[in-house]
């Protein structure tokens, strides 16, 4: 007999919606709630880094890493430059403020420079 025998911790995990064991559950996964682009106002700025290098920074994104990674890939491809994601900010190498603004507006985001 185990330490948790006869307690709620003894039973295998159950689905919260249908109360069946998770191995027998047929409930569809809950859809991921995403923030629509039109409700976000992004800020695009230009920063100077070491040795005079310019970086375009897009800030004001929602905390949705998968969506931000996809957006970063689109922005890097559109600008033909490298970039990275720093928290909820995207950094694109070079001065691409105008290009980023047109692309983000085409995707439905509100943009401030």
106 or 31, greater pLDDT: 106
Candidate from 3-12, 48-57, 96-105 with smallest mean pLDDT? 3-12
Question: With the C-alpha atoms ordered 59, 75, 41, 65, is the resulting torsion angle positive or negative?
Answer: negative
34 or 52, greater pLDDT: 52
Calpha distance 56→46 (Å, rounded): 5
pLDDT digits 0-9 by tens, 46-97: 999 989 999 999 999 998 888 899 999 999 999 999 999 998 899 999 999 9
How confident is the model at residue 112, as a pLDDT?
A: 93
Beta strands in the chain (DSSP E): 41-48, 54-59, 83-86, 89-93, 110-112
On average, the pLDDT of the chain sits at 89
Domain spans, the chain? 37-112
Q: What pTM value is reported for the model?
A: 0.72
How confident is the model at residue 81, as a pLDDT?
A: 95
Counting DSSP H helices and E strands in the chain, the numbers are: 2, 5
Q: Which CATH architecture fits 37-112? A: 2-Layer Sandwich (3.30)
Tell me the percentage of the chain whose pLDDT exceeds 90: 54
């Amino acid at each position: 007999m185990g330490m948790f025998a006869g307690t709620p911790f003894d039973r295998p995990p159950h689905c919260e919606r249908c109360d069946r064991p998770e191995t027998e559950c047929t409930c569809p996964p809950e859809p991921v709630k995403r923030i629509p682009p039109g409700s976000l106002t992004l800020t695009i700025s230009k920063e100077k880094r070491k040795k005079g290098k310019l970086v375009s920074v897009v800030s004001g994104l929602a905390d949705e890493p998968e969506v931000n990674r996809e957006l970063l890939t689109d922005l890097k491809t559109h600008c033909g430059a490298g970039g990275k994601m720093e928290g909820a900010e995207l950094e694109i190498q070079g001065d691409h403020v105008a290009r980023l603004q047109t692309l983000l507006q085409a995707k439905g985001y509100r943009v401030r420079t």
